[in-house]
A and B are shown apart, each in its own frame.
Chain A
């Protein structure tokens, strides 16, 4: 393993951890659930991805060991993180967590007014069938 490669891998690891740090700052600084989940679903995904990619490259180039599990981990994080962000913010919305006061627009309101009732009915139906 040459010097340039190890420096490159180090830079990727550092970038990943810095991104995770920024995510944490965002979680503290941003005003409401939804904007926080912006930070969490994007920066955290890329941060973890970069760290995993760096680990993959390191073991590949230094130990000549190609870890297929790391590749799978990368793919899984890539697919699941945004879905988790979506589900959390959706659940927050339907349990009446308010938006930040300075939010400009809320198109979902018209839908949310009658939606929860329907959802509850649907869920009860499933329960009685099961």
Chain B
């Protein structure tokens, strides 16, 4: 991915050399044409076309924002309810993600999602221990959310 970005920047600079104009808008135009060239040549390059990943990262960011707002609505509801109705507990969740970077991202996302907080990661990076506000109603919903998160992260990294 970094390699493709580097090529793209080089193409943008070549564009500026060809035009003999050294302004930022020219760089942007050159970058755009570089993107087109890279897209046409995507079969010859190692890995996926990198802009797909950039878009996936953007999607992940919006997912992040949405979950943050939802989490807060739920926390407020839990806190301001006249009679405390929570059933906290810790459950283990196996994850398919491998690298440290992916797992860090996943636990950040989980911590900011409704009613969950990452407590620990097992030594072999395969299980996340998560503290949940409401174990009964959360269990299934959480599993679903995890799937969407894990998928979104994999879209970015693989």
Q: Is B133's CB under 8 angstroms from A43's CB?
A: no
CB < 8 Å neighbour of A85 from B69, B90, B117, B122: B117
Q: Which of A19, A22, A42, A79 has the most CB atoms of chain B within a 10 A radius of its CB?
A: A42
Q: Is A42's CB under 8 angstroms from B91's CB?
A: no
What's the Cα separation between A124 and B69 when bound, in Å? Answer: 42
Chain A 42-55, CB-CB to B under 8 Å as 1, else 0, gives 11011000000000
Tell me which residues across on chain A come within 8 A of B129, comparing CB atoms: 107-108, 111
Q: Is A107's CB under 8 angstroms from B90's CB?
A: yes
What's the Cα separation between A37 and B78 when bound, in Å? Answer: 13
Question: Closest B-chain residue to A31, C-beta based?
Answer: B84
CB of A60 within 8 A of chain B? Answer: no
Q: Is A32's CB under 8 angstroms from B117's CB?
A: no
CB < 8 Å neighbour of B84 from A29, A37, A103: A29
A-B contact pairs, 7 of them (CB 8 A): A41-B117, A42-B72, A86-B118, A90-B119, A99-B90, A104-B136, A108-B119
